[in-house]
Amino acid sequence: MTPILSTRNLNLSYGSKQVLYDIDLPFEEKSVTALIGPSGCGKSTLLRCMNRMNDLIADCKVTGEILYRGEEIMNSDPVLLRRKIGMVFQRPNPFPKSIYDNIAYGPRAHGTKDAKTLDNIVENSLKGAVLWDEVKDRLHESALGLSGGQQQRLCIARTLAVNPDVILMDEPCSALDPIATTKIENLIMDLKTKYTVIIVTHNMQQAARISDTTGFMYLGKLIETGTTGTIFSNPKEELTERYITGRFG
C-alpha cells in the first residue's frame, strides 16, 4: 500500500542551524503514527513541515521531498494544502468567538455560507470530537469559557469541520490533566477510522497506548521507525532502547 504522506531526504535548517537531517518516513493512511524523542529533537519541526506551517518562520529552509498522495507539497498552495492536512496545537487555542463560530470558521473561510449546512457541520464536528453533549446548549457562548480539555476537543472539532485527510497533532495533551488526556486519547483512536493521524508526544506511554506506528527521533535524525509493538518491546537500535527504558531523555 502506498503511504498517504511521505518524506524523502528531508533536511531543514533555521538560518545556519540544521534541525532535521535526511528524514525518510512514510505515513500509512487511516492509522496513528507517533513521533517520540527528547525535547529539541526536531519532532515538532518535522510535523510542521507536513502542512508548511514552517513557512511562517522567516529564515527556515527546507530541502528534500514531502509527497502527499504522490504530489510534492512544496509546490502546492499552502492554503489549499492546509485544508487537507489540518493541525491541532500544543496549547488549546480557540478563537475568542462563540463555540459555534469557532467550528464554522474553517468552512466559512472556504466559502460555505448556507446556515443549514453550517449547522450540520458544527453538529457533526462536535459529535466527532465527543464534545456535542457537553456544549449543545451553549453553542453561542464564548469558547473561552470551556475547560482546558474541552477547549482542546473544540480545537479538534474545528479541524474536523474542514474535513481534512490528515490531522497533525503537536503534543495535544501536554497542557491537560490526566482525565482530559484520557478523553483525547480515546478520541484519537476513534479518529483513525476516518483520518490519518500524526501525533508528536513526549509521553511514551501515550505513544504506546494509541499509535500503530512509532518513529523515534534524536538530535534531528530519525533513529528508528516501526510498528509500535516492535519499537517498545524489541527495538533494533540501542539508543531507542535506552530512551524508552528511561535511561536518558
Partner 1 sequence: MTAQLTTGWREKGIRSVWLAAALIAASSVVFILGYLLLTSLPIFFETGIVGFFFNTDWNPTGSTPSFGIAALLIDTLLVTFGAMVFAVPLGLMAAVFLAYLAPPKLRDIVKPAIELLAGIPSVVYGFFGMIVLCSFLQQTLDMPSGFSWLAASILLGIMALPTIVSVSEDALFAVPKDYNEASLGLGATKWQTISRVLVPAAASGISAAVILGMGRAIGETMAVMMVAGNAAVIPSPIWDVLSPVRTLTATLGIELAEVASGSMHYYALFGVAAVLLAITLGVNLISVWITKRIKTGRPLVSMPAAARRILIICGMLIAFTAGIVILGIGPTLLAAAVFAGFFLLRDRVSHKVAERAAFGVIYAGTALVVATLIIILADIFIHGLPAISWEFLTTAPRDLGREGGIFPAIVGTLQLVGGAILLALPVGIGAAVYLNEYSAGTFLTRLLRTGNDLLAGTPSIVFGVFGFAFLVIFLGWGVCLLAGMICLALMILPTIIKTTEEALRSVSPSLREASFGLGATRWQTIKNVVLPSAAPGILTGTILSIGRAAGETAPIMFTAVVFSKRFISPDLFEPVMALPFHLYVLSTSVPGAQTQQYGTAVVLICLVLLIYLGAILLRTHFRKKLI
User: Which residues would be at the binding site for partner 1 (CB under 8 A)?
Assistant: 51, 53, 56, 77-84, 86-87, 89, 91, 93-97, 105-106, 108-111, 113, 140, 142, 144, 155, 158-159, 162
Closest C-alpha to 173, from 146, 211, 142, 200: 200
> Cβ closer to partner 1: 66 or 244?
66
In the complex, least distance from residue 111 CB atom to partner 1, rounded to whole angstroms:
5
Query: In the structure grid, which three cell numbers stand for residue 23, read together?
Result: 528524514
What are the contacts of 234-243 at 24+ separation with CB within 8 A?
240/216, 243/36, 243/37, 243/38, 243/216, 243/218
In the complex, least distance from residue 187 CB atom to partner 1, rounded to whole angstroms:
18
> Cβ closer to partner 1: 94 or 235?
94
Q: In sequence order, what DSSP letters do the residues of 107-135 get, joined into one string?
A: HHHTT---HHHHHHHHHHHHHHTT-HHHH
> Cβ closer to partner 1: 96 or 178?
96
In the complex, least distance from residue 163 CB atom to partner 1, rounded to whole angstroms:
10
> Cβ closer to partner 1: 113 or 247?
113
In the complex, least distance from residue 85 CB atom to partner 1, rounded to whole angstroms:
9
Are 30 and 232 within 8 A, CB to CB? no
